[in-house]
Structure 1
Amino acid sequence: MSRRFSLTATAAFAASLAAVAAFAPTAAAGPLDLTRTAPAPLFQERAQDRLTVTVAGTDITRADGTYELKCGPTGGTHPEARSACARLDELAGEGKNPFAPVPEGQMCTMQMGGPATARVTGTWQGRSVDATFSHKNGCEISRWQNLVPVLPAARG
Protein backbone atom coordinates (compact mmCIF):
# COMPACT_ATOMS: atom_id res chain seq x y z
CA MET A 1 0.00 0.00 0.00
CA SER A 2 2.78 2.37 0.92
CA ARG A 3 4.63 1.61 -2.31
CA ARG A 4 1.48 2.35 -4.39
CA PHE A 5 1.08 5.72 -2.61
CA SER A 6 4.73 6.56 -3.20
CA LEU A 7 4.48 5.74 -6.91
CA THR A 8 1.28 7.79 -7.26
CA ALA A 9 2.81 10.77 -5.45
CA THR A 10 5.97 10.57 -7.55
CA ALA A 11 3.95 10.40 -10.78
CA ALA A 12 1.83 13.37 -9.73
CA PHE A 13 4.92 15.38 -8.84
CA ALA A 14 6.54 14.55 -12.18
CA ALA A 15 3.39 15.56 -14.04
CA SER A 16 3.25 18.90 -12.23
CA LEU A 17 6.91 19.55 -13.08
CA ALA A 18 6.18 18.79 -16.73
CA ALA A 19 3.24 21.22 -16.67
CA VAL A 20 5.39 23.95 -15.14
CA ALA A 21 8.14 23.32 -17.68
CA ALA A 22 5.64 23.66 -20.54
CA PHE A 23 4.81 27.21 -19.44
CA ALA A 24 8.34 28.24 -18.37
CA PRO A 25 10.32 30.69 -20.49
CA THR A 26 12.70 29.12 -22.99
CA ALA A 27 15.64 31.19 -21.73
CA ALA A 28 18.65 29.50 -20.17
CA ALA A 29 18.03 27.91 -16.83
CA GLY A 30 18.53 30.31 -13.96
CA PRO A 31 16.74 31.66 -10.93
CA LEU A 32 12.98 31.98 -11.30
CA ASP A 33 11.96 35.64 -11.78
CA LEU A 34 8.86 36.03 -9.63
CA THR A 35 8.56 39.77 -10.26
CA ARG A 36 7.18 39.18 -13.76
CA THR A 37 4.55 36.72 -12.62
CA ALA A 38 3.37 38.56 -9.50
CA PRO A 39 -0.32 39.45 -9.58
CA ALA A 40 -1.40 43.09 -9.78
CA PRO A 41 -2.23 44.67 -6.42
CA LEU A 42 -5.87 44.46 -5.43
CA PHE A 43 -6.03 48.12 -4.45
CA GLN A 44 -4.09 50.79 -6.27
CA GLU A 45 -3.49 54.06 -4.49
CA ARG A 46 -5.62 56.77 -6.03
CA ALA A 47 -4.02 60.12 -6.75
CA GLN A 48 -5.48 62.81 -4.55
CA ASP A 49 -8.07 65.07 -6.17
CA ARG A 50 -7.23 68.72 -5.48
CA LEU A 51 -9.62 71.45 -6.50
CA THR A 52 -9.82 75.17 -5.87
CA VAL A 53 -13.43 76.36 -5.84
CA THR A 54 -14.10 80.11 -6.14
CA VAL A 55 -17.72 81.21 -5.72
CA ALA A 56 -19.29 84.70 -5.98
CA GLY A 57 -22.75 86.23 -6.12
CA THR A 58 -24.64 83.40 -4.45
CA ASP A 59 -26.58 85.70 -2.14
CA ILE A 60 -25.43 83.41 0.66
CA THR A 61 -22.82 85.29 2.68
CA ARG A 62 -20.94 82.25 3.94
CA ALA A 63 -20.94 80.49 0.55
CA ASP A 64 -18.99 83.12 -1.40
CA GLY A 65 -15.21 82.80 -1.31
CA THR A 66 -12.37 80.53 -2.33
CA TYR A 67 -12.03 77.03 -0.93
CA GLU A 68 -9.58 74.17 -1.32
CA LEU A 69 -11.12 70.72 -1.71
CA LYS A 70 -9.01 67.59 -1.36
CA CYS A 71 -10.42 64.12 -1.84
CA GLY A 72 -8.61 60.82 -1.29
CA PRO A 73 -8.16 61.57 1.65
CA THR A 74 -10.68 64.30 2.39
CA GLY A 75 -9.32 67.66 3.46
CA GLY A 76 -8.93 71.32 2.63
CA THR A 77 -10.97 74.37 3.60
CA HIS A 78 -14.20 73.48 1.77
CA PRO A 79 -17.12 73.81 4.23
CA GLU A 80 -18.69 70.50 3.11
CA ALA A 81 -15.58 68.57 2.09
CA ARG A 82 -16.83 65.09 2.99
CA SER A 83 -20.16 65.52 1.14
CA ALA A 84 -18.44 67.21 -1.81
CA CYS A 85 -15.94 64.36 -2.18
CA ALA A 86 -18.75 61.81 -1.92
CA ARG A 87 -20.60 63.60 -4.73
CA LEU A 88 -17.50 63.64 -6.93
CA ASP A 89 -16.97 59.92 -6.26
CA GLU A 90 -20.59 59.27 -7.20
CA LEU A 91 -20.20 61.15 -10.49
CA ALA A 92 -16.92 59.34 -11.25
CA GLY A 93 -18.68 56.02 -10.63
CA GLU A 94 -21.31 57.00 -13.18
CA GLY A 95 -18.56 57.83 -15.70
CA LYS A 96 -19.68 61.45 -15.90
CA ASN A 97 -17.45 64.50 -16.17
CA PRO A 98 -19.20 67.18 -14.09
CA PHE A 99 -16.73 69.80 -15.31
CA ALA A 100 -17.53 69.43 -19.01
CA PRO A 101 -19.06 72.56 -20.55
CA VAL A 102 -22.56 72.63 -22.00
CA PRO A 103 -22.24 71.15 -25.51
CA GLU A 104 -22.31 73.66 -28.36
CA GLY A 105 -25.75 73.94 -29.94
CA GLN A 106 -27.48 72.58 -26.82
CA MET A 107 -31.01 73.94 -26.47
CA CYS A 108 -31.34 75.64 -23.07
CA THR A 109 -34.25 77.37 -21.41
CA MET A 110 -33.84 81.12 -21.35
CA GLN A 111 -34.16 81.66 -17.64
CA MET A 112 -31.89 83.79 -15.50
CA GLY A 113 -31.09 82.13 -12.21
CA GLY A 114 -29.19 85.05 -10.73
CA PRO A 115 -25.67 86.44 -10.67
CA ALA A 116 -23.96 83.43 -9.04
CA THR A 117 -20.67 82.37 -10.65
CA ALA A 118 -18.06 79.79 -9.81
CA ARG A 119 -14.73 78.61 -11.13
CA VAL A 120 -13.22 75.23 -10.33
CA THR A 121 -9.56 74.56 -11.10
CA GLY A 122 -7.17 71.77 -10.19
CA THR A 123 -7.03 68.02 -10.73
CA TRP A 124 -9.85 65.47 -10.61
CA GLN A 125 -9.53 61.78 -11.51
CA GLY A 126 -6.02 62.52 -12.82
CA ARG A 127 -7.33 65.13 -15.27
CA SER A 128 -6.75 68.86 -15.27
CA VAL A 129 -9.85 70.93 -14.46
CA ASP A 130 -10.59 74.55 -15.34
CA ALA A 131 -14.36 75.01 -15.45
CA THR A 132 -16.68 77.96 -14.98
CA PHE A 133 -20.27 77.83 -13.79
CA SER A 134 -23.12 80.33 -13.73
CA HIS A 135 -26.89 80.62 -13.53
CA LYS A 136 -27.33 82.38 -16.89
CA ASN A 137 -29.67 79.75 -18.43
CA GLY A 138 -31.34 76.44 -17.70
CA CYS A 139 -28.38 74.33 -18.86
CA GLU A 140 -25.93 76.22 -16.68
CA ILE A 141 -28.28 76.05 -13.70
CA SER A 142 -28.52 72.28 -14.20
CA ARG A 143 -24.71 71.94 -14.39
CA TRP A 144 -24.39 73.88 -11.15
CA GLN A 145 -27.07 71.85 -9.36
CA ASN A 146 -25.34 68.64 -10.50
CA LEU A 147 -22.26 69.68 -8.49
CA VAL A 148 -23.97 70.60 -5.21
CA PRO A 149 -22.39 70.37 -2.57
CA VAL A 150 -19.06 70.95 -4.37
CA LEU A 151 -20.74 74.23 -5.34
CA PRO A 152 -23.17 75.79 -2.86
CA ALA A 153 -26.91 75.53 -3.48
CA ALA A 154 -27.11 79.15 -4.67
CA ARG A 155 -30.31 81.09 -4.22
CA GLY A 156 -29.56 83.88 -6.60
Structure 2
Amino acid sequence: MVSSLQAAGRRVLVSSLAAVASLVPLTAVPAAAAGAMPPPVRPEDQAPRSGPAAAAPSGDHLTVVVRNAGARRDGTYQVSCHPDAGRHPDVAGACRTLDEHTRWGRDPFAPVPAGSDCTMLYGGAATAHVTGTWAGRPVDATYDRRDGCEIGRWDRMVPVLPKVG
Protein backbone atom coordinates (compact mmCIF):
# COMPACT_ATOMS: atom_id res chain seq x y z
CA MET A 1 0.00 0.00 0.00
CA VAL A 2 2.80 2.43 0.85
CA SER A 3 4.65 1.82 -2.41
CA SER A 4 1.56 2.56 -4.52
CA LEU A 5 1.08 5.90 -2.69
CA GLN A 6 4.74 6.78 -3.23
CA ALA A 7 4.46 5.95 -6.93
CA ALA A 8 1.33 8.10 -7.26
CA GLY A 9 3.08 10.94 -5.45
CA ARG A 10 6.07 10.69 -7.78
CA ARG A 11 3.80 10.83 -10.83
CA VAL A 12 2.07 13.95 -9.50
CA LEU A 13 5.43 15.56 -8.72
CA VAL A 14 6.91 14.72 -12.13
CA SER A 15 3.85 15.93 -14.02
CA SER A 16 3.79 19.16 -11.96
CA LEU A 17 7.46 19.84 -12.70
CA ALA A 18 6.92 19.13 -16.38
CA ALA A 19 4.01 21.59 -16.47
CA VAL A 20 6.07 24.32 -14.79
CA ALA A 21 9.06 23.68 -17.06
CA SER A 22 6.86 24.00 -20.15
CA LEU A 23 5.70 27.47 -19.02
CA VAL A 24 9.19 28.91 -18.47
CA PRO A 25 9.90 29.61 -22.17
CA LEU A 26 6.50 31.26 -22.54
CA THR A 27 7.11 33.70 -19.70
CA ALA A 28 10.86 34.26 -19.97
CA VAL A 29 11.07 35.31 -23.62
CA PRO A 30 8.60 38.23 -23.55
CA ALA A 31 9.99 39.50 -20.24
CA ALA A 32 13.54 39.46 -21.58
CA ALA A 33 12.54 41.06 -24.85
CA ALA A 34 10.30 43.77 -23.38
CA GLY A 35 12.11 47.09 -23.65
CA ALA A 36 15.40 45.47 -24.61
CA MET A 37 15.16 46.12 -28.32
CA PRO A 38 14.48 49.30 -30.25
CA PRO A 39 11.25 49.53 -32.22
CA PRO A 40 11.37 47.56 -35.46
CA VAL A 41 12.36 49.38 -38.61
CA ARG A 42 9.39 49.64 -40.92
CA PRO A 43 9.94 48.64 -44.57
CA GLU A 44 9.24 52.20 -45.74
CA ASP A 45 11.99 53.50 -43.42
CA GLN A 46 14.70 51.25 -44.84
CA ALA A 47 17.18 52.65 -47.31
CA PRO A 48 16.64 51.48 -50.88
CA ARG A 49 19.36 49.12 -52.09
CA SER A 50 19.58 50.47 -55.66
CA GLY A 51 18.23 53.09 -58.02
CA PRO A 52 18.11 56.90 -57.72
CA ALA A 53 16.51 56.79 -54.27
CA ALA A 54 19.47 54.79 -52.89
CA ALA A 55 21.58 57.95 -52.67
CA ALA A 56 18.93 59.80 -50.67
CA PRO A 57 18.92 59.19 -46.90
CA SER A 58 15.85 57.44 -45.55
CA GLY A 59 14.88 55.66 -42.37
CA ASP A 60 16.93 56.54 -39.32
CA HIS A 61 19.04 59.46 -40.49
CA LEU A 62 20.16 62.43 -38.41
CA THR A 63 22.18 65.56 -39.05
CA VAL A 64 24.03 66.82 -35.97
CA VAL A 65 25.43 70.37 -35.96
CA VAL A 66 27.75 71.12 -33.03
CA ARG A 67 29.01 74.61 -32.16
CA ASN A 68 31.31 76.00 -29.44
CA ALA A 69 32.32 72.55 -28.18
CA GLY A 70 35.96 72.85 -29.27
CA ALA A 71 37.99 72.72 -32.45
CA ARG A 72 37.94 68.94 -32.80
CA ARG A 73 34.29 68.63 -31.78
CA ASP A 74 32.57 71.40 -33.75
CA GLY A 75 31.10 70.54 -37.12
CA THR A 76 28.25 68.93 -39.01
CA TYR A 77 27.89 65.17 -38.73
CA GLN A 78 25.66 62.71 -40.56
CA VAL A 79 24.44 59.56 -38.81
CA SER A 80 22.38 56.83 -40.47
CA CYS A 81 21.40 53.70 -38.57
CA HIS A 82 19.94 50.35 -39.63
CA PRO A 83 22.40 49.95 -41.40
CA ASP A 84 25.04 52.14 -39.73
CA ALA A 85 26.64 54.73 -42.02
CA GLY A 86 27.57 58.39 -42.19
CA ARG A 87 30.21 61.01 -41.53
CA HIS A 88 30.52 60.89 -37.74
CA PRO A 89 33.49 60.05 -35.46
CA ASP A 90 31.63 57.05 -33.94
CA VAL A 91 28.69 55.97 -36.11
CA ALA A 92 28.30 52.57 -34.42
CA GLY A 93 28.42 54.10 -30.93
CA ALA A 94 25.95 56.82 -31.92
CA CYS A 95 23.49 54.27 -33.33
CA ARG A 96 23.89 52.07 -30.26
CA THR A 97 23.18 55.03 -27.93
CA LEU A 98 20.14 56.06 -29.97
CA ASP A 99 18.80 52.49 -29.92
CA GLU A 100 19.33 52.27 -26.14
CA HIS A 101 17.31 55.45 -25.56
CA THR A 102 14.49 54.57 -27.96
CA ARG A 103 11.37 53.28 -26.17
CA TRP A 104 7.78 53.16 -27.37
CA GLY A 105 5.89 56.21 -26.14
CA ARG A 106 9.02 58.19 -25.21
CA ASP A 107 10.87 60.77 -27.27
CA PRO A 108 14.63 60.22 -26.89
CA PHE A 109 15.17 63.83 -27.99
CA ALA A 110 12.59 65.38 -25.63
CA PRO A 111 13.56 68.64 -23.95
CA VAL A 112 13.91 68.92 -20.19
CA PRO A 113 10.35 69.16 -18.79
CA ALA A 114 9.25 72.68 -17.86
CA GLY A 115 9.45 73.33 -14.13
CA SER A 116 12.25 70.80 -13.52
CA ASP A 117 14.54 71.52 -10.58
CA CYS A 118 18.02 71.81 -12.07
CA THR A 119 21.36 72.59 -10.49
CA MET A 120 22.80 75.96 -11.37
CA LEU A 121 25.87 74.40 -12.94
CA TYR A 122 27.15 75.91 -16.17
CA GLY A 123 28.64 73.38 -18.57
CA GLY A 124 29.98 75.77 -21.20
CA ALA A 125 28.86 77.40 -24.43
CA ALA A 126 28.51 74.21 -26.49
CA THR A 127 25.30 73.84 -28.48
CA ALA A 128 23.96 71.18 -30.82
CA HIS A 129 21.05 70.97 -33.22
CA VAL A 130 19.82 67.52 -34.27
CA THR A 131 17.46 67.17 -37.23
CA GLY A 132 16.26 64.30 -39.37
CA THR A 133 14.18 61.18 -38.84
CA TRP A 134 14.41 58.64 -36.04
CA ALA A 135 12.12 55.62 -35.55
CA GLY A 136 9.85 56.97 -38.28
CA ARG A 137 9.37 60.34 -36.58
CA PRO A 138 10.79 63.76 -37.47
CA VAL A 139 13.50 65.11 -35.15
CA ASP A 140 14.27 68.78 -34.51
CA ALA A 141 16.04 69.04 -31.14
CA THR A 142 18.40 71.59 -29.66
CA TYR A 143 20.93 70.94 -26.92
CA ASP A 144 23.04 73.19 -24.71
CA ARG A 145 24.83 72.94 -21.37
CA ARG A 146 23.33 75.88 -19.45
CA ASP A 147 22.39 73.95 -16.26
CA GLY A 148 22.61 70.53 -14.64
CA CYS A 149 19.50 69.18 -16.38
CA GLU A 150 20.72 70.23 -19.83
CA ILE A 151 24.20 68.85 -19.12
CA GLY A 152 22.63 65.51 -18.16
CA ARG A 153 20.45 65.54 -21.29
CA TRP A 154 23.53 66.23 -23.44
CA ASP A 155 25.64 63.57 -21.70
CA ARG A 156 22.95 60.91 -22.26
CA MET A 157 23.39 61.44 -26.01
CA VAL A 158 27.17 60.97 -26.05
CA PRO A 159 28.60 59.80 -28.53
CA VAL A 160 25.84 61.16 -30.79
CA LEU A 161 26.92 64.50 -29.33
CA PRO A 162 30.60 65.00 -28.48
CA LYS A 163 31.85 64.45 -24.94
CA VAL A 164 32.42 67.88 -23.41
CA GLY A 165 34.07 68.73 -20.09
Same fold (TM over 0.5): yes
Distance 2:144 2:64 in 1: 13
More helix by share: 2
Q: Note the alpha carbon deviations across 1:33-79, whole angstroms, 9 max, x for none.
A: xxxxxxxxxx95472201000001112x2211001110111111011
1:75 matched to which residue of 2?
85
> Aligned ranges for residues 62-141 of structure 1 at < 5 Å?
62-93=72-103, 96-141=106-151
Distance 2:61 2:154 in 1: 19
1:58 and 2:73 equivalent? no
Q: Taking every aligned residue pair, what percent have the same amino acid on both sides?
A: 52
How far is 1:90 from its partner?
1.1
Q: Does the CA contact (< 8 Å) of 1:98 and 1:146 recur in 2?
A: no
**Kindly tell me: are residues 149 and 95 of structure 1, through their superposed partners in 2, closer, same or farther at Cα, counting changes over 3 Å?**
farther
How far is 1:153 from its partner?
0.5
> Aligned ranges for residues 5-16 of structure 1 at < 5 Å?
none
- Please report the TM-score for the alignment, with normalisation by the length of structure 2: 0.63
Q: Does the CA contact (< 8 Å) of 1:87 and 1:147 recur in 2?
A: yes
Task: List 4+ stretches of structure 1 deviating above 3 A.
Answer: 43-46, 93-96
Q: Does the CA contact (< 8 Å) of 1:56 and 1:64 recur in 2?
A: yes
* Number of residue pairs aligned between Structure 1 and Structure 2: 113
Q: Greater Rg, structure 1 or structure 2? A: 1
Structure 1 alignment gaps of length 5 or more: 1-42
**RMSD, aligned α-carbons:** 2.0
Letter in 2 for 1:54: V
How far is 1:115 from its partner?
0.6
Distance 2:113 2:62 in 1: 23
1:148 matched to which residue of 2?
158
